[in-house]
Amino acid sequence: MFGNKRYRTLNYELKKTFGKKVIKLSIDGGFTCPNRDGTIGNKGCLFCSEEGSGEFAGDRRKTITNQMIQQKKLLEKKWNTDLLIPYFQSFTSTYDSVKNLKIKYDEAISFKGSLGLALATRPDCLEDEKIQLLSEYSEEYLVWVELGLQTMHKNSSELIRRGYNLEIFEDALKRLNKKNIKTVVHLIVGLPGESKSDIMETIKYISNQKIWGVKFHLLHVLKNTDLEEYYYKKKFELLEKEEYINIICDSLELLRDDIVVHRLTGDGRKSDLIGPRWSLDKLRVLSGIDMELKRRNTYQGIYHIPQK
């Protein structure tokens, strides 16, 4: 057991490390993406929104410091803590020159109470000199890099226009691990054409990689994305709530027990969300997962089988 949960939450892990609640401040570093600027493609991933999957991040027109002040004020209403992690969430947060990255990261990390850096990025945007920069920060601060894998399956990765193959992910992971930089893998549950066994294959695959954390995202359709057009054209079925809860519980049972679970679901802005609408009630989804694990009397890692 992990505190009052049957899986290893980020909250549990950070409290264990720092002795109190730590909040994440989602900020927009003003980056773009090689899948948008024409380097790989110009439309982004199939599911990606105009905000680069940073709907709840700060306003890129403001300085990083001002974004952090604003985000902290929002979260202070819920959490009374002075410890925080700046989270560069929007687009690809290592897609710039090392010089410019250092300026932005330094500004975030110098904010009062900052414990480190969290960076959402792509494995094909992690050249050695960027990994070296992150390695220097990690000597003094908590640093983790979030990699948008989404799925291990080739057909699905091509459908969502991910823009890189599994070998590139594995190479980036290897180089990050060599520098002892923590990694978090993003997965999307409910991709069109993926069966439950396909999802479990991805879970088994990442459970046997050297990763620190994982983020589960429910596939949801947002307005003004290419996924919206694909959804209306193909009329594929979105997951029902109970179906999603069962898949997540099955996934947690297979997930190595030292992997930190950063997120168990994902939602979009209410005004932009086409479906599934049940995802807006995040608390009910999370409590449903807790209740199902309790009903099964299982927990994270109970069925994990290490690779030989």
Extents of the domains making up the chain: 10-296
- Tokens, residue 118: 């969290």
**pLDDT at residue 38, as a whole number:** 84
Q: Answer whether residue 52 shows pLDDT above 50.
A: no
Q: How far is CA 259 from CA 81, 107, 205, 215, 268, in A?
A: 25, 29, 13, 10, 25
243: its two tokens: 């179906």
Look at the domain 10-296 and name its fold.
TIM Barrel (3.20.20)
Question: Would you say residue 51 has pLDDT above 70?
Answer: no
Phi-psi group of 127: left, alpha or beta (phi > 0 → left; psi -120 to 50 → alpha; rest → beta): beta
CA separation, residue 152 to residues 36, 101, 162, 210, 264 (Å): 22, 29, 11, 15, 18
Task: Give the model's confidence band at 54: pLDDT under 50 very low, under 70 low, under 90 confident, else very high.
Answer: very low
The chain-wide mean pLDDT, for the chain, equals 93
pLDDT grade for 199, boundaries at 50, 70 and 90: very high
Other CB atoms closer than 10 Å to residue 125's CB: what's the count? 20
Q: What is the pLDDT of residues 223-254, one digit of tens each?
A: 989 999 999 999 999 999 999 999 999 999 99
pLDDT of residue 240: 96
Q: Are 9 and 252 in contact (CB under 8 A)?
A: no
How confident is the model over 87-111, as pLDDT tens digits?
Answer: 999 889 999 999 999 999 999 999 9
Q: Which residue has the higher pLDDT, 42 or 297?
A: 297
Q: Is the pLDDT at 8 greater than 80, yes or no?
A: yes
Contact (Cβ atoms closer than 8 angstroms) between residue 247 and residue 268:
no
User: Is residue 53 very low, low, confident or very high in pLDDT (cuts 50, 70, 90)?
Assistant: low
Alpha-carbon dihedral 104, 110, 114, 117, rounded to 10 degrees? 30
pLDDT tens digits along 116-162: 999 999 999 999 999 999 999 999 999 999 999 999 999 999 999 89
Please write the tens of the pLDDT for every residue from 255-294. 999 999 999 997 778 888 999 999 999 999 999 999 999 9
Contact yes or no for 154/205 (Cβ under 8 A) = no
Over range 294-306, report the average pLDDT: 96
Q: How many CB atoms lie within 10 A of CB 238?
A: 19
In eight-state DSSP terms, residue 262 is E
Residue type for 40, please? I
Instruction: Give strand pairing partners of 146.
Output: 120, 184
SS3 49: coil
| CA–CA distance, 119 with 96 (Å, rounded to integer) | 13
Residue 24 region, left (φ>0) first, then alpha (ψ -120 to 50), else beta? beta
pLDDT for the residue numbered 42: 79
pTM reported for the whole predicted model: 0.94
